[in-house]
Amino acid sequence: RRSLRAAWRVLVRSVYSGEARRKIAALADAVKPDVAHFHNVHAHLTTSIVGPLRARKIPIVWTLHDYRLVCPNTSFLCRGEICERCLPNRFYEAVRRRCKKGSLPASFMAMVTTLYDRVARIPSRVDRFITPSEFLKAKLVAGGLDPDRIAAVPNFVDLDSYRPSPEADYFLYLGRLSHEKGLDYLIRAAARLDEGRLVIVGEGPAARELRGLARELGANRVEFVGHRSGEELRRLVAGAQFVVLPSRWYENLPFAIMEAMACSKPVVASRIGGIPEMVEDGATGLLFPMGDVDALAERLRRMLGDRAARMEMGRRGREKAERLYGRDGHYERIAAVYRDVVEARRGPGGAAGASKRP
């Protein structure tokens, strides 16, 4: 009985927090903000904080970084593979398939959290959602959210911190070492090459397995260098011939690609998720069908064999980063969303969704 009560308390806290609701109300009364902007509120605050803000007629903007509002597992992955069975609003599929960590209790909790947001009408009580990619926006719309409440605004990188340097003798993967990142495809493709050296930057749960795969395939030109950050990571990106992202899941707007473009580096990547919005095939990099090792190996050979093409793609990538992924441009787009929701609140009728400009 005690364990059941404890489980129930955990479930309730993951869906609704009375403490967060009280504190956000007190904060709103003290600060009297023009706009409330959310990021990742589910983990601790929960969407219970929406009510007090709505009661005070404070417009709410929410930047989404995953698919939680339409996918209880947040990633459209089930047992490591793409799954959209919960679209639209069939959240019971998460429990039926045990998509959260293969666990029935965890999957049930994930389903309840997503279902609660729908029952509480959270999507219609938020004035504007912001998605870093058009792809994420499209999935939200497929899940039943109003497209007029969603503005696609890319994230940004500090472009001044990323500068190209002369090429070294390697191409680069940077990111988490986990199944959904498709590194097994990349190692298998790299093992087929007669030239080039692959440097893998990062750590994660699949690190040991991936190192074993490289040894098994005799991929002697694959080097794991572990976690790197800050200036050391920027130097590694700046010195690479190109960057590779072989993901098997719905990437949103990968920072690895923005960092590569900021350093004038082309990208070889899976044609999946938000990646094709960033990497224009043949212009700023090369795309390949997700999971196709032969196609990936062919793209790697093409990129390794044509330095002039790498330079031109890298140049175009930097131009795109300056146009879309800079800090000032991001600020201007976010400020435009703020102005829009504030004006909509003050306009005739004060309807949250009256303006449809973003």
**What is the average pLDDT across 136-144?**
97
Residue 65 has pLDDT above 60, yes or no: yes
pLDDT for residue 237 is more than 90: yes
Is the model's pLDDT at 344 over the cut of 60? yes
pLDDT greater than 80 at residue 5: no
Q: Is the pTM of this model over 0.85?
A: yes
Would you place residue 358 in the very low, low, confident or very high pLDDT band (cuts 50, 70, 90)? Answer: very low
Place of tokens 């007190």: 26
User: What per-residue confidence (pLDDT) applies to 74?
Assistant: 95
Long-range contacts formed by 277-280: CB under 8 A, 24+ apart: 277/133, 277/134, 277/135, 277/253, 278/253, 278/254, 278/320, 280/316, 280/320
Mean pLDDT of the 9-23 span: 82
> What would the mean pLDDT of 157-168 be, rounded to a whole number?
91
Sign of dihedral through CA atoms 208, 209, 211, 216? Answer: positive
The band of 169, judged by pLDDT with boundaries at 50, 70 and 90, is very high
From the number of C-beta atoms within 10 Å of its C-beta (0-12, 13-18, 19+), residue 289 rates as exposed
Question: Cα–Cα distances in Å, from 4 out to 13, 43, 151?
Answer: 14, 21, 42
Rounded distance between C-alpha atoms, residue 264 and residue 51, angstroms: 45
What pLDDT digit, counting tens, does each position of 113-124 carry? 999 999 999 999
pLDDT tens figures, 288-337:
999 999 999 999 999 999 999 999 999 999 999 999 999 999 999 999 99
Report residue 2 CA to chain centroid gap.
38
Please give the Cα distance from 14 to 11 (Å, whole number). Answer: 5
| CA terminus-to-terminus distance, the chain | 51
Q: What is the pLDDT of residue 356?
A: 39
249 pLDDT higher than 80:
yes
Instruction: State yes or no: pLDDT of 355 exceeds 80.
Output: no
Mean pLDDT of the chain: 93
DSSP string, 25-65: HHHHHHH--S-EEEES-TTTT-GGGHHHHHHTT--EEEE--
**In this predicted model, what pLDDT tens digit does every residue of 261-273 receive, in sequence order?**
999 999 999 999 9
pLDDT at 83: 96
Separation CA 267–CA 214 (nearest Å): 22
| pLDDT given for residue 353 in this prediction | 41
Q: Which residues pair with 302 in a beta bridge?
A: none
Q: How does pLDDT run across 54-64, given as a tens digit for each residue?
A: 999 999 999 99
Residue 8 has pLDDT above 50, yes or no: yes
Each residue's pLDDT tens digit, 200-218: 999 999 999 999 999 999 9
- The owner of tokens 């900021």 is 262
Which residue type sits at 131?
A: T
pLDDT at 44 over 90: no
DSSP state letters, 113-159: HHHHHHHTTHHHHSSEEEESSHHHHHHHHHTT--GGGEEE------G
**What pLDDT, on the 0 to 100 scale, is given for residue 345?**
86
